[in-house]
Amino acid sequence: MKIRRYEESDRGVVWALHNQALAGTGAHPGSGAWDEDQHHIQEEYIDGGSEFLVGTRGGRVFAMGALMRSSSGRAEIKRMRVHPDCQRQGLGREVLRALEARAVELGYAALHLTTTVHQHAARKLYAKSGYVEVGRDRVGTFDVAQFEKSLLRDRRREV
């Protein structure tokens, strides 16, 4: 899989992937104001000093993930999606690693994210990738797990 930065021409396929992947996990609340960033990816992520990556095979987008600045030293992993036909092939892990590398380049010391409690595969991916569950909450109709990861260890290894 090739991982690259989102391009405006990806808009339709990224929106479709977002909906397909969420529907496949049972975590799709329907469309609403919470999706507004998806309609302005260039402005919300890339122009804002954050990042939005897509994973492609043969030129087709099968995975995606984003990094959104939340404070001077922290960013949130958002919009992690893998096409239902391509799950459990390591694509999510590749996108996550690329986002983490980009976060280090951007100077972030820590990452955080949320995922629904019933998304066991996602929670397992984050735990195996060094994220620690730090809490639980309720967002809309979903129970969510909150995860965090320090990137300081990763930076020390590079020095």
Query: What CA–CA distance (Å, rounded) separates 19 from 27?
Result: 10
Contact 146, 136 (CB under 8 A): yes
Greatest Cα pair distance, the chain, in angstroms, is 45
What would the pLDDT profile of 81-132 be if each residue is shown by its tens digit?
998 888 888 899 999 999 999 999 999 999 999 998 988 889 999 999 999 9
Is the per-residue pLDDT at 28 higher than 60?
Answer: no
- What number of CA atoms fall less than 13 Å from residue 88's CA on the CB side? 6
Question: What is the amino acid identity at position 28?
Answer: H
In CATH, 2-158 is 3.10.20.30: no
